[in-house]
Amino acid sequence: MISINKSTFEKVNVLVIGDAMLDRYFFGKIDRQSPEADVPVVDIDTIENKLGGAANVALNIKKMNANVELICSIGEDETGTDFLKAIKENEIIADRVIVSNKRQSTLKGRVYNDKEYLLRLDRETISDFTNDESYVLLQKIKASIDNFKPDVAILQDYNKGVLTKANIPEIIELLQNNDVKIAVDPKKDNFLAFKNVDLFKPNLKEISEALHLEIDASNEVNLKQTCLQLQVEIKCKNCLVTLSEYGVVCLDEAQNFKHFAAFKRNVLDVSGAGDTVISVAALFLALDTEIEDIAFYSNLAGGMTIEKKGVNALTIQEFVDELKVQGIN
């Protein structure tokens, strides 16, 4: 294993492509019922905006002291304005973000009564990119390759329309022709479209839904068979499968299989853990790290984020400190 410090990733350039969103948190208290209807009134104390989806992946990359560019789509709306403000504050390169007058920015609103999660409010456009929109996306990626010069690209799919069955093969071909490594965090709708990538990172539910399998996460033989079938279907060089409380498994081109148990954690919130896993995995992929080490490091990083409430990006200092606690660094 390589020694990790604050400067390990500072020369790594990561391009994140996919569905970004703004997470808006409304924190308040319920002290009364509405006079209009028999519903509680939440008196809001605080409103917080956080980057979500592909933007949270980009934030994780930035917090690990790497360089990151985000290509996504937002609308010409108030959410989009707040999104770009948060992107700028976190020093994420967003020169090629697509601003559309035909699509809404994705907003996930969450209402809390103290620590009690009451309600979620969504506003978004989830229709697939048209051919014209996909053409613009490809031109943005070409420009990033020419100017930002990424070492690795993360295709971050939340089935919100940026990545489609039609444009995914074109994006992969474009990146491969320019020697950019590719890591994928898929969702159900486009699962089987991500062929021939360097690293494919689904979770068990996504594999089960896409391949119509019943998977026993406690059975290593079953898990290896699942990874082998996944590799046949996707033709990926390496697969990394997250198993929630069972940790992660990985499989390389030579069909070497490895299972890493989950680190013992005080679980508060699993939101965003997958974003951290793909971020850390992509950073180590850019450094030509073996898949077993990629799986180990990303498993550790993902476990760290679930000890905090809400979506939180892992910092390089937190990661280095944890490695020392584990006696690894």
pLDDT in tens, 306-316: 566 566 788 99
Which whole number is the average pLDDT over 86-115?
96
- Supply the pLDDT for residue 268: 45
What is the secondary structure of 119-164 as a DSSP string?
EEEEE---SPPPHHHHHHHHHHHHHHHHHT--SEEEEE--SSSSS-
- Supply the pLDDT for residue 265: 57
pLDDT band per the 50, 70, 90 thresholds, residue 326? confident
Is residue 104 classed exposed, middle or buried when 0-12, 13-18 and 19+ CB atoms within 10 A define those classes?
middle
Q: pLDDT tens-digit profile of 189-241? A: 999 999 999 999 999 999 999 988 889 888 999 999 999 999 999 999 999 99
pLDDT band per the 50, 70, 90 thresholds, residue 304? confident
With 0.85 as the threshold, say if the pTM is over it.
yes
**Catalytic status, residue 275:** yes
Query: Dmax over Cα atoms in the chain, in whole Å?
Result: 67
Which whole number is the average pLDDT over 261-277?
69
- Supply the pLDDT for residue 272: 64
Which residue out of 19, 216, 275, 293 is catalytically annotated? 275
Domains for the chain: give ranges and CATH numbers: 13-325 (3.40.1190.20)
Backbone dihedral angles phi then psi of residue 165, each to the nearest 5 degrees: -60, -30
pLDDT band per the 50, 70, 90 thresholds, residue 264? low
